[in-house]
Each structure stands twice: as C-alpha cells, then as structure tokens.
Amino acid sequence: MFENFQLEMIRVPETTLRVRHGGSGPPLLLLHGHPRTHTTWYKVAPALARQFTVVCPDLRGFGKSGKPSDPHDYEASSKRAKARDCVALMEHLGFDEFFLAGHDRGSYTAFRTAMDHPARVKKLAILDGVPILEALERCDARFASHWWHWFFFAQRDKPEQAILANPSEWYGGAEASMGSENFVDFFSAIQDAATVRGMLGDYRAGIHVDHLHDRDDRNAGRKLICPLHVIWSAKDDLEDLYGDVLAVWQPWAELAVTGAGIDCGHHMAEEAPVELTRELVRFFSG
C-alpha cells in the first residue's frame, strides 16, 4: 500500500499528524472523510503521484493523528483549526501553495482552508459535500431522517457509548471491498475510544461553530477565489437532497463552478478510483 510513499508523524503547531506523502510535481493535499483514515486513498494517491506530489494526512481527531484533549472543545475540532493544520503541514513539507481535494468531512476542512487561506489553495476539489451552513439551512424531514447521525453525533457522551459498544456493527466496512491494509487501518481506528471521540468532535464542531464561520463569510461577502470542482457519488443522496449540486455551490465561488457525478457509492476513492483519479487529474492539470 502506498508504494514509494513516506509515512511520518509530523508535528504542527497545534497537534501531530500522521502523514503519507510521495510522488513529484505540483503539491496536492488529499483529505479523507468519516470514518476513514488517510489510507482510503490507497488506490488513488499512487496514480496521482505520477503527476503530483501527493500528501495524505489523517485529519486531527482521526486515525493516528492527535486528538483534542476535551471532546467537547468545539474550536479544537473545528474546520478552522484543521485548516490551520493543513497549511502548517504543507509549509513543513516546503509548499506555500497547493492543490486541495477533500471528501465527506474532509471536504468541509478543505472548504474552510480555501476560505481562510485563499493565497494558499490554487484549486479546490470538493467530493460529496456542500457547505455545512447550506446543509443546515436546507434541513427538512428528509434530511433529518437520512442524515440523523449529524444530530446524534453532536450530542454529549451518548454517541461514544453507543458506538463503542460494538464499533464493527456500527460502522460496518468489509475487507473485500476496502482492501486488506486499508480495512486493517480503518478497523484499528474505529476500535480506539479516543479516535471515536475525535471523529465525533468533527460533527460537534459542525453543529456548534463551523456553520457560524460559514455564515460570517457569507455576511461579509467572502467567496472562494480559486477554481472549484465538485464531484459527487451518483449512488449516494447528494443529488436527491439538493438537486443541482453545482447551484448550491455557485454562490460561494467567484468563478464558475464545474463538476460531475461518478457512478458509485459514497466512498468513491475505494469504489471508483479510476474515475475519481481521472476527474482530479483533469481538473488539477487543466
């Protein structure tokens, strides 16, 4: 897995990140979603490394990266804090500017990185996500029934008790579909109480503070200034919930938003690596 990549624990100002990086060419930072770790990119990253220097961290709170000491410290789990981690990590590796792609919960950190640090992000790809503020403002009975976990995970303490009683039953996942080494890494993460709490912190911050940061940007008229490409899973529910996904994103971007659906389920890096790699190469190379 990740042949010719380096695996390091890298200290950034606020935490420590587990990171794999490899390849050559323009830097490209890949951010995973929930409940995965950076190993979800194991099919995509080596293919991208033929043209890019690819950097794959475990997000703060996830995998083997550092965890906030207080699971209810929403600022420490906020996308704003994780965006600072991203910038510091890339600086550590020698990159002042970089391409950025984020999936699921990682898409929110990617969006916040591009908003808070516009001089750093040259192009942004969002995978299976809309701004948190948009999701909450458009919330209806259908969203609440399909994405009930957003609100359950944001509660104090009880989600940990429910998940840790049987993490494998809660999260699912299968070695056959995920690949053996990726599955082992994922399985280790979901069995660890501190990691489960860290992942829940991402949802707690979303409900309590992240949407306020989005609102502040909208009220101030701040928008993404870099090119934005949105990719969604055709077999997931983003189109069902929002219809025209690009129309949801367009008010947040100065430039015309591009994008496409991929014929796969939610975990696109594992289910459709060839199609996803093709989309990312086309966008970041264009």
Q: Strand pairing partners for 29?
A: 55, 100
For residue 210, the Cα-to-chain-centroid distance in whole angstroms is: 14
Residue 203 falls in which region: left (phi positive, over 0), alpha (psi -120 to 50) or beta: alpha
Amino acid, res. 180: S
* Residue 124 host element (H or E): strand 121-127
Three-point CA angle 275, 104, 178, nearest 5°: 60
- Give me the catalytic one of 72, 117, 208, 266: 266
266 catalytic per annotation? yes
Report CA torsion sign: 40, 43, 46, 49. Answer: negative
Instruction: Report the phi/psi class of residue 143: left, alpha or beta, with left for phi > 0 and alpha for psi in -120 to 50.
Output: alpha
Question: Which is the catalytic residue, given 58, 104, 214, 236?
Answer: 104
- 44 token code pair: 């995509």
Dist CA 36 CA 54 (whole Å): 18
Full DSSP string of 141-164: HHHHHHSHHHHHHTSSSHHHHHHH
Where do the H-state alpha helices sit in the chain?
A: 44-48, 79-92, 105-116, 132-137, 141-146, 148-153, 158-164, 167-171, 175-178, 180-191, 193-205, 211-220, 238-242, 245-249, 268-271, 273-285
Active site residues: 104, 266
